[in-house]
Structures are given as C-alpha cells and as structure tokens.
Amino acid sequence: MKNCLWISLVFTTLSYSEAQRSLLPPVGPTSLRQIVRAYFTIPEGRSSSLNDIRILHFTNSTEPTGTYRLGSVRKILSDPGFDPDKPTVLYAHGYVEFTTDDSVRTIVKAYEQNGGYNILILDWSNIAFGDYTLVSLGVQSAGAEIAKAMVRLVRGGLSREGLHFVGHSMGVHLLGAAARDMAAAGIKVPRLTGLDVAYPGFYPPVLGKAASPADAQFVDMIHTDGGGYGAPHALGHADFWPNGGIAKQPGCVSATIFLTSEDFCSHWRSWGYWAEAVAGSSFWSRQCDDYDAFLRGLCADNPPVRLGPASGTEIRGNFYLRTAATVPYSLGKRGAE
C-alpha cells in the first residue's frame, strides 16, 4: 500500500511539474501503469496456480467466445466458430499485461480482419504480475503446462501444420519453452514469431532459457527496442529490424522516464507492426548486413521480403525496413528503399 501511495505521489509531482515547466519528459494518466502493476502479484479474481492459466478463443474483437483453463482445453475443439482445419494462432502477451490491454485487443482485431485463423489468446496474467525476476524464473514451468495443453489439442484434432505461436516480450520466452516441451512430446511447432523478445535476464540466460531457432521449424523475430527492453541481436532464422530495430521508433517521443508507458513505446511498436501486417498491410524489407548499408542502398538488388505472416518460412538472415511514425505504419515498397 505504501508503495502504491509513493507511486501516486511521484506521478502527481511529475504531472504538476510538467504543467509548470517544460523540462521534464511527457507524462500522462497511464504513464506509471507498468510500474504500478509490478506491485500486484495476482490480478483480482485470479490465483497464482499454473492451473489458472487460461486460453481464450475469439471469433470477434470484443469478447472471447470461450475461456478455458489448461486442464479443460480440449473443449475449445467444440467451441462454436472453431474450425480445427484452419490455421491456429496462439498469442501470448508480455509481462504485467491483461488480455484487455490494447496490445491484445489490437492483435485479436487484426486476425479477425484477416479471417483466416482460429484465434487463441494465452492469458497468463495470473503469474505475469509482480517481481520481474520471479516471473521470469517461472516461465519454464509455465511453458511445460502450456505444452501439455497444446499437445492435447493437437491430438484431439487441431491441425498441427497450421499452428503458429506469436508472443510479445517475455511471452516469446514462454512460448519458446512450450514449443520445446511439445517437440519433446513429438510435436514440433511449425512457426514461432517473437515480437521484440524480452532482453533483461534472458541474454545471457540468467533467469531462464531464452527462445531460440531450435524451438520451432521456423522462428522469425521483429526487433524494435534492441538493447533496451528487447534483445539487440539476431535470434531467429529470420530477424526483421524496422528502422534499425532500436529505440526510438518513429513517432515515439525522444525523452522519456524509465519504465513509463512512454518509455515502452518502441518496445510496443513490434505488436503494432505485426498486427498491421496480419490485417493486410505490406511491410516490405530487404536482406542486408546492417541498417547503415540498407540506408545507403547497398542491398537494393536483394529481392524485397514481407514482414508478417506472409513472409514465407524459407527466408534466412537479417531484414531491414523503414516505417511511418503513425498508423498506418506501413510504407509499402518505399519502406524497403
């Protein structure tokens, strides 16, 4: 309680100071949201048990048509609107996030607009809140339980060929752990996509084993805050580096306060770019040695490659592109120039 009061006081002081002077970085009503959430170990109405991890099935972008704990996950197969022959995406949110946050809602809306997938959202918010170190240390055991649930789905009739894991930040490591355990059970996940995979504690793997190209048949990564909240080096079979893959991404304010929502802007751009690509925008890129060579046009002879689910799984290497500062972020073919 004292911590929350202290945080509120800091926010009030910053807001007042910002109103009186223009020297501080911008702050707003949600600026300290991530910090406050780190002090809540269990969201209201949830338990810290691994059995309370849930998978939500969406057929529209508003409310899930079904919510299932891992132990009863096979009921998804009889959920109205679920087509076991369709490709299925399983999306995992990041640290201290709810499934009602903009990140998840934006992803769900994009896949609904796409229309070609069963949409499953992994709700692990019951163990994703609290101390970052403790949450990170629990990723491997949580991944093992998720793997068991997904194996039951596949053996119950879910098409394994169309299974696509997509995670943001620490959610990438969670799905990587699940994919490794699924592989040990004889089911190799076809594709794992990482959206600015969490950096602190995982590279080097002090707090847990990091996601890697060995986790799935094809692993692609999108980097938007490399060296900050996201990892700064290539991690997949294919790695995409919008605007060089580092902060500040276009449209994000240059001066921020550490751990505020404004400071996470570049980290969160990864799911914004991915969602727009899923919904149909074309983010063209080119394979190149580095961003400087890309900007100097030294890779202009390399064929353009699309970031997103339409990229294909045969590509390898590092791919660079430019984006716009506001929605729509896609620059089309110009983004690869």
Candidate from 31-35, 234-238, 280-284 with smallest mean pLDDT: 31-35
Does residue 4 carry a pLDDT above 60? no
What number is the average pLDDT over the span 187-212? 97
- 139 and 21 in one domain? no
Instruction: Please give the tally of structural domains in the chain.
Output: 2
Candidate from 3-12, 97-106, 129-138 with smallest mean pLDDT: 3-12
- 146 and 216 in one domain? yes
Does residue 199 carry a pLDDT above 60? yes
| pLDDT, position 24 | 57
| Whole-number Å distance between alpha carbons of 198 and 321 | 21
Does residue 26 carry a pLDDT above 90? no
- 230 and 153 in one domain? yes
| pLDDT, position 29 | 81
- 295 and 147 in one domain? yes
At 203, list the tokens: 């590279």
- 189 and 45 in one domain? yes
- 123 and 8 in one domain? no
- Virtual torsion, Cα 67, 68, 69, 72, nearest 10 deg: 160
- 21 and 88 in one domain? no
Q: In what helix (H) or strand (E) does residue 18 lie, and over which residues does it extend?
A: helix 2-20
| pLDDT, position 62 | 83
Task: Answer for the pair 297, 284: CB distance below 8 angstroms, yes or no.
Answer: no
**Which band of pLDDT confidence, cut at 50, 70 and 90, is reported for residue 61?**
confident
| pLDDT, position 184 | 98
Instruction: Point out which residues pair with 239 in neighbouring strands.
Output: 221, 318
What number is the average pLDDT over the span 181-207? 97
Which among 46, 43, 69 is positioned nearest to 56, based on CA atoms? 69
CA-CA-CA-CA torsion sign (243, 94, 118, 236): positive
Provide the 8-state DSSP code for 108: H
Task: Check which CATH number belongs to the domain holding 238 and give it.
Answer: 3.40.50.1820
**Which band of pLDDT confidence, cut at 50, 70 and 90, is reported for residue 14?**
very low
| Whole-number Å distance between alpha carbons of 262 and 24 | 13
| Whole-number Å distance between alpha carbons of 86 and 117 | 6
Does residue 42 carry a pLDDT above 70? yes
The residues, any chain, with a CB within 8 Å of residue 170's CB and separated by 6 or more, are: 94, 95, 128, 135, 136, 139, 198
| Whole-number Å distance between alpha carbons of 160 and 170 | 24
Percent of the chain surpassing pLDDT 70: 93
- 8 and 40 in one domain? no
Does residue 18 carry a pLDDT above 60? no
**Which band of pLDDT confidence, cut at 50, 70 and 90, is reported for residue 11?**
very low
Instruction: Point out which residues pair with 228 in neighbouring strands.
Output: none
Which among 184, 199, 201 is positioned nearest to 143, based on CA atoms? 184
| pLDDT, position 66 | 95
- 145 and 274 in one domain? yes
| pLDDT digit string, tens, across residues 64-119 | 999 999 999 999 999 989 998 899 999 999 999 999 999 999 999 999 999 999 99
| Whole-number Å distance between alpha carbons of 33 and 4 | 11
Task: Answer for the pair 82, 76: CB distance below 8 angstroms, yes or no.
Answer: yes
| pLDDT, position 121 | 98
- 131 and 23 in one domain? no
SS3 assignment, position 57: strand
- 200 and 89 in one domain? yes
Does residue 23 carry a pLDDT above 60? no
Average pLDDT, the chain: 92
| pLDDT, position 280 | 97
pTM: 0.92
- 47 and 26 in one domain? no
What number is the average pLDDT over the span 304-316? 97
Q: Which domain holds residue 27?
A: 1-31
Whether omega before 248 lies within 30 degrees of 0, making that bond cis, reads: yes
Which among 227, 225, 265 is positioned nearest to 243, based on CA atoms? 225
